[in-house]
Amino acid sequence: MGAGASKNKITSQDQAVLDLKIQRDKLKQYQKKVNVVIDKEVQAAKLALTQGNKKKALLALKKKKYQEQLLEKTEQQLLNLEDLTQSIEYAVVEKQVLEGLKNGNTVLKEIHKEMSLEDVERLMDDTADAIAYQNQIDTILSEQMSPEDEQEIMDELHELQMAELDANLPAVPENDLPVTEPSLPDVPTHVPTVAGKQTEPIKKKEQLQPMLAS
């Protein structure tokens, strides 16, 4: 009986693998939801540009960038931990794995907070509370962004601006415009009328010769 109980006992490595699978499943669920929010933020940035509000557009793109980084960081961490749990010397890396799982849960909670569509709407509001929220988020994100991140955000903003300009340009006709030659009036065969009377037709040269001879 004791041998059977020992055989079915869940080891710390088994528990770590189970925890990893739970984190991975949560991440996949969060990815779908956060991607919806990210799409909304791109739309918010475009709308802000049409309204001439570059500051709001930048803030929406900063939030988008931050969320993408969270997802990427968590996904990479899960891959690293999966490799560690498959290690033969699991006892040596056990502490590292458990610490990684703890950090992973913390990041997943942070991602969960970033899945609110209401927060995207607050980016576009002009109320006093919304403006205070926007300034707070902008300060927090600016502190976490590297110069490279800032440059990527500015490049994306420029692309959106160019796309907005292209969308507002008139369409160029695909075919060449038809060219028509100007039409000239017909040459008159009668002398213009005088005082409402029709004059005789213009005599030809052959008709005038006998008259000149006489």
- Whether residue 91 lies inside any domain: the answer is yes
Cα angle: 74, vertex 71, 98; to 5 degrees: 15
H helices present in the chain, as ranges: 2-7, 12-50, 54-85, 90-113, 117-124, 128-144, 147-168, 205-213
**Taking a C-beta distance cutoff of 8 angstroms, is the pair 77, 103 a contact?**
yes
- Whether residue 193 lies inside any domain: the answer is no
Structure tokens, 46: 């475009």
- Whether residue 207 lies inside any domain: the answer is no
- Whether residue 75 lies inside any domain: the answer is yes
Place of tokens 């900063």: 62
Q: pTM of this prediction?
A: 0.61
pLDDT of residue 46: 92
Give the 3-state secondary structure of residue 202.
coil
pLDDT of residue 93: 77
Alpha carbons within 13 A on the beta-carbon side of 194: 3
pLDDT of residue 155: 92
Closest CA relative to residue 79, chosen from 14, 149, 27: 27
| Phi, psi (rounded to 5 degrees) for 190 | -125, 150
Q: How many domains does the chain have?
A: 1
- Whether residue 201 lies inside any domain: the answer is no
Length of the chain: 214
- Whether residue 180 lies inside any domain: the answer is no
Place of tokens 């990815």: 31
pLDDT of residue 84: 75
The secondary structure of 142-183, three-state, reads HHHCCHHHHHHHHHHHHHHHHHHHHHHCCCCCCCCCCCCCCC
User: What are the pLDDT digits (tens) for 13-56?
Assistant: 788 888 888 888 888 888 888 888 889 999 999 999 998 899 99
Domain of residue 95 covers 11-159
Read off the amino acid at residue 192: P
pLDDT of residue 192: 58
Residues of the chain with pLDDT under 70: 1-8, 88-89, 169-214
- Whether residue 128 lies inside any domain: the answer is yes
Give the 3-state secondary structure of residue 192.
coil
- Whether residue 153 lies inside any domain: the answer is yes
